[in-house]
Amino acid sequence: MNEDDGHSTLHLLCVAQTPQRRRRLEACAEKLADSAGEGPDWHSSSAPNARRALAILGAGWVDAALVDLDQQPALDFLQQARNSGIVTPLLVVTADAAAGHWRPLLEAGADEFLPADELTPLLLERSLRLCSRNQALESRLEYLAQHDMLTGLPNARLFERQLDLSLHTAERHGRCMALMCVHLDEFQARARSLGQEAAELLLKQSARRLRALLRRSDLVARSHNEEFLLLLECSADLSDLALTASRILETLAGRDATDDGCRASLGIAVFPHSSSEPRQLLDHARVALNQVRDAGGNDFRLYDEALEVVSHRRVLMESALPGAIQRNELSVRFQPRFDLRTRRITGAEVLLRWDSPDFGAVSPEQFIPAAEATGAINRIGGWVLEQTIRAGRQWLDAGHRLRLAVNVSGGQFRGGEFANELARLLEAHGLPAELLELELTEGVFVANVAEHRDLFTHLTALGVGLAVDDFGTGYSALAYLRHFPVHALKIDRTFIAPLPASEDDGAIVRAIVAMGHALDLRVVAEGVDSIEQIRFLEGIGCDEIQGYLVGMPMTAEELNTRLEQHPGASEDAWPA
Ligand code: C2E
Ligand code: CA
Ligand code: CA
């Protein structure tokens, strides 16, 4: 269709079996052109046979065809046209107006039939108008199926189609494309607090901002809920990528506090670096997006293969963890703690091990966060407590009063049953509560000041000890030490490792020991792995040590052997 002066010119192709029938069609079409007042201008041309007609229709510039072929050739023609993807309206002239005649034609793909003896310019014009209205309706329906009504942006379906085409073009021209997956971090909270309407406004506004920021040739789509997809060209060395990504985040967030924007997360996959497969490219952008969101959001990240390995492994791990207890894959080790003055073993830290047939020996540094994320930490933590209390009782029976320290995650307090469950276990196994110590990080104390004051009071009432784990790494505010009945500080091993060479770390460790003693707490140094560190710690009056040099994490039997060999004191733990 051509449009000049706002008046459109349409092309009608006349296809007929004989020159005589063709002339009749042409005559009708010409009158159509004459009579066209308000409507479009029709120009006609003709094709002498079906083969030629199909070639012309395939070229795509014809707006409708008027076909007068015998019944069977007409059916063949229609089928071939529709099978080759031609969607142009096809009006077929029939010699016979009986239903047995025209029904098969419509079934084969004709849009309309016109009985030969009734063919007039008026009928032709009406039929054409009807067909084009149908076509307009269809394209409206198609538009609706491919766009997001709220924002007017293409939806995921259309985006994926456009993505295919764009990647083909990029490949031909040797260009790089960045596929970005954008998630509005604050959308759900906004919807909950301000209602659906405000949330929809936010979506519309974000869509407008994205569209305004990006070039016309860039693709912007809303895939679902609060997620947008972008496809933009980027330089081969990706040097412009970070700038573009931060601009997008800034734009969505708004320029200042009065500007009601929204914080967002953004994952990027680059064609062809990350993948040249459209579907995979999308998956990769989503993997990167999830990494950003896991890390707290409001940032962007580029996909790299290592990420996928990590997140894939994490998903598999998360699903395997809950069954690990039943499958007997978990066990505990005991790492002895020594009194620095007497050099006796005072107790041990209980450290969890997971030996998985699928992942091998997984470090607790990896699976504990996974257990926390899935909630499996509750059952696993309960299991560790039970193992610990059982082992503590056996040592007590053998004449060793060992204080066992168990690591506890904040997540284990959820549900409010922690203290009761602990009391039940101590009671059931008959272990004196003072032989149990709970190691909690500073973060757990600080996060729970208000919420769990009662819990900690309950725990101390039971008589279990509380130790601050990884002390020095978390918070500079120490007020929480006043709020909680803490018994011990465990200086994080990152302060111990540089000793005694590092003067700064030396000063920090010295200060922690002095402060601990001022608050009447026992101070434990962890990660001790050299005799020089021991000398330094002895010199500043640290109370206890734990580390590979004096004792690796070991099984209960191994610790037993050690206790039996040196009943009471462990003189050869390190030279005096
Ligand atoms: P953490 O509480 O700081 O535990 C001490 C970690 O330091 C242990 O690692 C231990 O093997 C290691 N370590 C001991 N001595 C040395 C040394 O001389 N040098 C060095 N470089 N490292 C030493 P592990 O067993 O891999 O545990 C890692 C973390 O996993 C623990 O850190 C703790 O946060 C967590 N974790 C372990 N078991 C449990 C558990 O049962 N429950 C919970 N919630 N967390 C646990
Ligand atoms: Ca610990
Ligand atoms: Ca620690």
In this prediction, residues 82-109 reach a mean pLDDT of 86
Model confidence, pTM: 0.56
DSSP class of residue 402 equals P
Does domain 314-564 fall under CATH 3.30.300.130? My reply is: no
Could you give the angle at the alpha carbon of 264 between the alpha carbons of 260 and 267, nearest 5°? 160
pLDDT computed for residue 3 by the predictor? 44
Backbone angles phi, psi at 411, to 5 degrees: -60, -25
> Relative to the alpha carbon of 354, which ligand is closest?
1
User: Which ligand 1 atom is at minimum distance from the Cα of 333?
Assistant: 25
- Give the tens place of pLDDT for each residue, 192-239: 888 888 889 999 999 999 999 999 889 999 998 899 999 999 888 777
Domain boundaries, the chain: 2-146, 156-307, 314-564
Residue holding tokens 């059952």?
Answer: 379
- Give the tens place of pLDDT for each residue, 261-281: 899 999 999 999 888 899 999
- pLDDT above 70 as % of the chain: 92
**Residue nearest ligand 1's atom 17 by CA:** 527
Mean pLDDT score of the chain: 88
pLDDT computed for residue 430 by the predictor? 96
In this prediction, residues 151-171 reach a mean pLDDT of 91
In this prediction, residues 101-125 reach a mean pLDDT of 89
pLDDT computed for residue 510 by the predictor? 92
Per-residue pLDDT band at 307 (split at 50, 70, 90): low
In this prediction, residues 323-349 reach a mean pLDDT of 94
How far, in Å, from the CA of 491 to the mean position of ligand 3?
7
Count the Cβ atoms, other than its own, within 10 Å of residue 429. Answer: 16
In this prediction, residues 453-465 reach a mean pLDDT of 87
- Give the tens place of pLDDT for each residue, 294-306: 888 898 988 877 6
Q: Kindly tell me if the per-residue pLDDT of 33 is higher than 70.
A: no
The CATH class that applies to domain 2-146 reads: alpha beta
The DSSP secondary structure of 467-487, one letter per residue, reads EEEEETSS-S--THHHHS---
pLDDT computed for residue 540 by the predictor? 97
- Which of 407, 444, 499 gets mutated to test ligand 1 (max ligand atoms within 8 A of its CB)? 407
Per-residue pLDDT band at 84 (split at 50, 70, 90): confident
**Residue nearest ligand 1's atom 4 by CA:** 351
pLDDT computed for residue 252 by the predictor? 94
Count the Cβ atoms, other than its own, within 10 Å of residue 234. Answer: 21
End-to-end CA distance of the chain: 98
Pocket of ligand 1 (CB under 6 A): 335, 351-352, 363-365, 368, 381, 384, 407-409, 439, 469-470, 493, 526-529, 547-548, 553
Q: Kindly tell me if the per-residue pLDDT of 99 is higher than 80.
A: no
Question: Which one of 55-59, 312-316, 350-354 scores highest in mean pLDDT?
Answer: 350-354
> Relative to the alpha carbon of 371, which ligand is closest?
1
How far, in Å, from the CA of 312 to the mean position of ligand 2?
28
Could you give the angle at the alpha carbon of 45 between the alpha carbons of 42 and 47, nearest 5°? 145
pLDDT computed for residue 4 by the predictor? 44
400: which 2 tokens? 């060793």
Query: Rounded to whole angstroms, what are the CA distances from 486 to 267, 277, 411, 456, 508?
Result: 43, 56, 19, 9, 20
Contact 13, 53 (CB under 8 A): yes
How far, in Å, from the CA of 404 to the mean position of ligand 3?
14
In this prediction, residues 503-514 reach a mean pLDDT of 90
- pLDDT above 90 as % of the chain: 52
How far, in Å, from the CA of 365 to the mean position of ligand 2?
11
User: DSSP H helical segments within 84-229, as ranges?
Assistant: 99-107, 121-146, 156-173, 187-194, 196-213
How far, in Å, from the CA of 549 to the mean position of ligand 2?
17
> What CATH number was assigned to the domain covering residues 156-307?
3.30.70.270
> Relative to the alpha carbon of 335, which ligand is closest?
1
How far, in Å, from the CA of 411 to the mean position of ligand 2?
16
Contact 544, 521 (CB under 8 A): no
Query: Rounded to whole angstroms, what are the CA distances from 76 to 59, 60, 62, 72?
Result: 19, 20, 20, 6
- Which of 350, 351, 409, 495 gets mutated to test ligand 1 (max ligand atoms within 8 A of its CB)? 351
Residue type, 93: V
Q: Kindly tell me if the per-residue pLDDT of 319 is higher than 70.
A: yes
pLDDT computed for residue 9 by the predictor? 79
Per-residue pLDDT band at 5 (split at 50, 70, 90): very low
pLDDT computed for residue 311 by the predictor? 65
Q: Measure the CA–CA gap between 549 and 532, rounded to whole angstroms.
A: 11
Per-residue pLDDT band at 6 (split at 50, 70, 90): very low
> Relative to the alpha carbon of 467, which ligand is closest?
2
pLDDT computed for residue 42 by the predictor? 83
* Ligand 2 ion local residues (Cβ < 5 A): 407, 439, 469
How far, in Å, from the CA of 492 to the mean position of ligand 3?
6
Closest of 254, 263, 246, 224 to residue 302, by C-alpha: 246
Q: Kindly tell me if the per-residue pLDDT of 309 is higher than 70.
A: no
Q: Measure the CA–CA gap between 357 and 360, rounded to whole angstroms.
A: 6
